[in-house]
Structure 1
Amino acid sequence: MTAARSAPLGRGTGFERGVLTLVGVLALLAGIGGLAVGSGALGVFRSQRPVLDPMFAQWAQATPLVWLPVAIVGGLVLLVLGGWWVRRALRPEARPDVRLGNGEGGELTITAGALTEAVRRDAQEVTGVTKTRVRTVGSPRDPGLRLSLSLEEGTDVRQVWAELDDRVLSRARRALGREALRTSIRLHLDRAPGRRVR
């Protein structure tokens, strides 16, 4: 068997998690600060003051040509960043074709559909496998496979694992001319049909 990688195979969510964690921490600190000021824990005078400082309010009313453009530009920047983030989060995961290199007639490429169908047919022949789903992930230069297999009840999982590596994945690696092919495998055990009691 090839060495397993600890990193998950697929689109990373580290950026989204990091931004959401930062926003959540800032919101939590702001809420705790507002609660502390409003409850009078930092002094009765501070709890009775308005949220917007009167001196800042007077300055804003006196100089609208200074802060208004800054506020508009800041709002537009936040709108663009929010739209970019939503688009990035909602875009479908890529199913890349696999580039094999350059041949005499140009660049050699195996389409994602052809590769997944070949691997799916091979995986379907593994003992105990009833249903298979395969898709390519990653990038054309660094492709990977994600397999989801349904197994009959009572199937020997070790035998399935050995057959997958010996027959299915080794064949895919040879076809792609690679010593290693990142692969994520999910095994699902089918439930036995329930028996009716009379």
Structure 2
Amino acid sequence: MLKAVNRVLLGLLGLGLFALGGGVLLGGLDLQRHWGFDVPGWWPFRGPDDVVLGTEGRTRWREEDWWWPTVIAVLAVLLALLLWWLLAQLRRQRLGQVLVESEDYAAIRLNGRALEDVIEEEAQVLDGISRAHVRLTGRCAAPAVRVRLLLKPHAEPARTLEQLSGETLAHARDSAGLDRLPSEVRLQEVRHRARRVA
């Protein structure tokens, strides 16, 4: 749903900016006079000397009691919507359930958070891993895993990846009855602050 909302909002924003830019360009270059056509009466930009918002437009509603509360309310709602949209972009999609097929072909739904917790716990037991963070993505019938590992100073990254892939992720794939479990693994090392020794 987020992708559809993004497309609609970006499409509307693009159309609005295209229309506004075209109107300013039309008036700024005086194209209606050069090309011999007329613009509607409500059109704000009629020539190169016109401004976007004139004195009358800026001061027309200033004395009305409802004007400033309405402006502030509209801007507050707009700000809230933009913040919601921004947070929705930053928040990665988390898979809530994984579809597991049993031997009798019955569809069972496994809690995605439970599977993430099991993978995290098994990964943290491996040698050289200080902390693990796991997130399931994708679709419930075809999940994928994003793993972020914090390595201890003595860890060997190649060996750690081999253990994670061959043991932890393979065990999760087999226990969930999945044919494949694509994974993306990010490794980070533990950084210790330098301490002065007296």
What TM-score do you get using the length of structure 1 for normalisation? 0.58
Q: Distance in 1 between matches of 2:133 and 2:102?
A: 30
> Partner residue of 1:47?
48
> Partner residue of 1:20?
10
1:31 aligns with 2:21: yes
Letter in 2 for 1:109: R
> Partner residue of 1:143?
143
Q: Distance in 2 between matches of 1:105 and 1:155?
A: 42
Cα deviation 1:104-157 (Å, max 9, x = unaligned): 695433222331222112111222110111232223212222212111235321
Q: Map residues 113-124 of structure 1 onto 2, 5 A cutoff.
A: 113-124=113-124
Letter in 2 for 1:143: P
1:191 aligns with 2:191: yes
Q: Number of matched residues?
A: 158
What TM-score do you get using the length of structure 2 for normalisation? 0.58
Q: Distance in 1 between matches of 2:124 and 2:6?
A: 36
Q: Distance in 1 between matches of 2:134 and 2:191?
A: 22
Letter in 1 for 2:136: T
Letter in 1 for 2:17: A
SS class of match (1:150): strand
Q: Distance in 1 between matches of 2:109 and 2:47?
A: 68
Letter in 1 for 2:174: R
1:161 aligns with 2:161: yes
> How far 1:173 moved relative to its partner?
1.5
Structure of higher RCO (CA pairs closer than 8 Å, 6+ residues apart): 1
Q: Is residue 130–residue 150 contact of structure 2 (8 Å, CA) maintained in 1? A: yes
Change (3 A) 1:134 1:92: closer
User: CA RMSD, aligned part only?
Assistant: 4.4
Cα deviation 1:68-109 (Å, max 9, x = unaligned): xxxxxxxxxxxxxx89x95x9478834322221256695433
> How far 1:29 moved relative to its partner?
7.1
Which runs of 5 or more structure 2 residues have no equivalent in the other structure?
A: 35-45, 53-80
Change (3 A) 1:163 1:15: farther
Q: Is residue 148–residue 187 contact of structure 2 (8 Å, CA) maintained in 1? A: yes
